[in-house]
């Protein structure tokens, strides 16, 4: 069955009950917590400055959206007062993806342009505990634009551990499968522990898969997802060479590879040089080495499952099944998150870095150390086995 047939549901827009003494509310992220704490402020400037840094999401019919942000229009509603509101949300309150209604990302500056002229009020997170309503008059829209120009940095939210405090997956194999994608979540500044994946907005998820993976439809996604979980995307000879090492004597290893496949002896030297750097940078213990680079495929499989769901190429059940398979496969090969991480990084370096030890290496080295240290990191909170 297709995602359209299996994922239809009634939770199109967020609706969160107000907190009470019996049922307190835990904000998903710091953004929603700030809006909740400042919901009664007469002056919304500080809240708007926060939203100018983070951006917002607006619902739109999948048939009405466009890769060109200038052609998108936020959902509007006419009130009994005669006013018209445009409805937008912060990422943390977004509902589970719907097959027919998607959420597109827009900066506060972009919203000043794409909100129709008749919109009088911007409704932020309506029907949630952190709702906020601000004027959308022309002078206010000018302020949104100025704030966005000053504060929004497309990469400003990258390279950080983001853990949802609510609206998150429960402990178990699915959470382990999500944790396998932690390097990529860190790099993109995405929450690692949510199944309700919207990423950078629907059109951006579609564009990401097309540009980086050549995935343009459901059939493409199914093929790539399967090959990642089966460890068939990375070159076969990487693990072939690593599998010939039953000790750490470099010369003996070279000779063994030369006997079995002389063409691959150069790879031995490359791996040894990377491992030496890994030890110096704290990725490996003094006597450590990488036994398999399968983690490079598993980490991407974890994200591919979510990307496919966000692009509506995969159903929720298919995403979850892919995550479960990723979790099982990773535990069959590795013994710890530290071992998984070093293997992922070696695979990434063999793929992109060419022994330059540039940003393809240093960015993910930063991710490793942050993920090993942050108290709310998946690698501190999700048991590997």
The pLDDT of residue 248: 62
Say if residue 27 is in the same domain as residue 138.
yes
Domain assignment present for 288: no
- Cα three-residue angle 169-174-180, rounded to 5 degrees: 105
Domain termination residue (choose one: 119, 151, 183):
151
Average of pLDDT values for 108-115? 98
Residues 227 and 366 in one domain: yes
Residues 145, 106 contacting (CB under 8 angstroms): no
For the segment 243-257, the average pLDDT, to the nearest whole number, is 83
Is residue 332 assigned to a domain?
A: yes
Name the domain boundary from 151, 182, 200.
151
Domain count for the chain: 3
Co-location of 219 and 245 in the same domain: no
Specify whether 101 is located in the same domain as 140: yes
Please give the mean pLDDT across all residues of the chain: 95
What does the alpha-carbon distance between residue 379 and residue 160 come to, in Å, rounded to a whole number?
Answer: 14
**Position 350 in a domain:** yes
| 1 confidence band (pLDDT: 50, 70, 90) | low
Q: Does one domain contain both 180 and 121?
A: no
Residue 260: the pLDDT is 84
Domain identity same for 119 and 261: no
67 and 144 inside one domain: yes
Are 107 and 135 members of one domain? yes
Residue 167 lies in a domain: no
**Residue 194 forms part of a structural domain:** yes
Burial class from Cβ neighbours inside 10 Å (0-12, 13-18, 19+) for residue 324 reads: middle
Same domain, 229 and 349: yes
| 338: confidence class by pLDDT, cuts 50, 70, 90 | very high
Q: What's the rounded mean pLDDT across residues 193-212?
A: 97
CA 295-381-231 angle, to 5 degrees, is 15
Q: What is the pLDDT, as a whole number, of residue 278? A: 98
Give the residue with greater pLDDT, 130 vs 22: 130
Instruction: Provide the residue range defining the domain that includes 45.
Output: 3-151
In a domain, 166, yes or no: no
- Spatial separation of the C-alpha atoms in residues 183 and 192, rounded to whole Å: 9
Examine the fold and report which residue of 247, 280, 313 is the final residue of a domain before the chain moves on: 280
Residue 286 covered by a domain: no
User: What are the φ and ψ backbone dihedral angles of 113, each rounded to 5 degrees?
Assistant: -100, -45
The pLDDT score that the predictor gives to residue 327 is 98
- Mean of the pLDDT values across residues 287-313? 97
Residue 4 has pLDDT above 80, yes or no: no
Does one domain contain both 131 and 249?
Answer: no
Is there a single domain that holds both residue 72 and residue 126? yes
Residues 267 and 373 in one domain: no
Please enumerate in sequence order all residues whose Cβ is within 8 A of that of 37, keeping only pairs 6 or more positions apart, or say none.
none
Phi/psi of residue 101, nearest 5 degrees: -120, 125
User: CB of 216 within 8 A of CB of 337?
Assistant: no
Report if residue 214 sits inside a domain.
yes
What are 291's two structure tokens? 């036994």
**Mean per-residue pLDDT for 101-105?**
98
Highest mean pLDDT, choosing among 21-25, 250-254, 293-297: 293-297
Q: What number is the average pLDDT over the span 284-295?
A: 95
Task: Report the b/e string of 190-204 with b at 16+ CB within 10 A.
Answer: bbbbbbbbbbbbbbb
pLDDT, position 247: 66
């Amino acid at each position: 069955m297709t995602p359209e047939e299996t994922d239809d549901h009634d939770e199109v827009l967020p609706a969160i009950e107000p907190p009470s003494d019996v049922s307190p509310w835990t904000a998903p992220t710091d953004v929603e917590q700030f809006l909740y704490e400042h919901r009664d402020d007469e002056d919304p400037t500080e809240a708007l400055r926060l939203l100018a840094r983070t951006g917002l999401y607006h619902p739109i019919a999948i048939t009405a959206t466009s890769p060109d942000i200038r052609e998108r229009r936020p959902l509007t509603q006419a009130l009994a007062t005669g006013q018209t509101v445009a409805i937008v949300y912060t990422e943390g309150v977004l509902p589970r993806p719907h097959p027919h209604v998607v959420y597109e990302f827009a900066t506060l500056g972009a919203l000043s342009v794409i909100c129709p002229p008749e919109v009088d009020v911007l409704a932020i997170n309506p029907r949630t505990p952190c709702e906020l309503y601000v004027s959308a008059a022309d002078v206010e829209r000018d302020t949104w634009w100025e704030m966005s120009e000053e504060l929004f940095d497309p990469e400003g939210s990258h390279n950080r551990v983001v853990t949802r405090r609510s609206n998150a997956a429960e402990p178990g194999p699915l959470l382990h499968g999500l944790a396998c994608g932690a390097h990529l979540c860190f790099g993109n500044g995405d929450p690692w522990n949510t199944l309700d994946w919207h990423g950078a907005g629907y059109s951006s998820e579609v564009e990401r898969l097309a540009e980086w993976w050549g995935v343009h439809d459901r059939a493409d996604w199914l093929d790539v997802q399967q090959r990642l979980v089966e460890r068939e995307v990375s070159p076969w000879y990487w693990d072939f060479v690593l599998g010939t090492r039953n000790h750490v004597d470099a010369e003996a290893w070279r000779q063994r590879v030369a006997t079995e496949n002389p063409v691959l002896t150069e790879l031995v030297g490359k791996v040894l040089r990377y491992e030496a750097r890994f030890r110096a940078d704290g990725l490996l213990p003094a006597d450590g080495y990488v036994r398999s680079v399968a983690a490079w495929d598993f980490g991407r499989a974890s994200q591919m499952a979510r990307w496919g769901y966000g692009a509506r190429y995969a159903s929720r059940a298919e995403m979850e099944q892919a995550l479960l398979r990723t979790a099982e496969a990773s535990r069959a090969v590795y013994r710890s998150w530290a071992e998984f991480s070093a293997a992922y990084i070696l695979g990434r370096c063999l793929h992109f870095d060419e022994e330059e030890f540039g940003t393809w290496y240093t960015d993910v080295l930063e991710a490793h150390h942050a993920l090993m240290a942050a108290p709310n990191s998946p690698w501190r909170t999700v048991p590997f086995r």
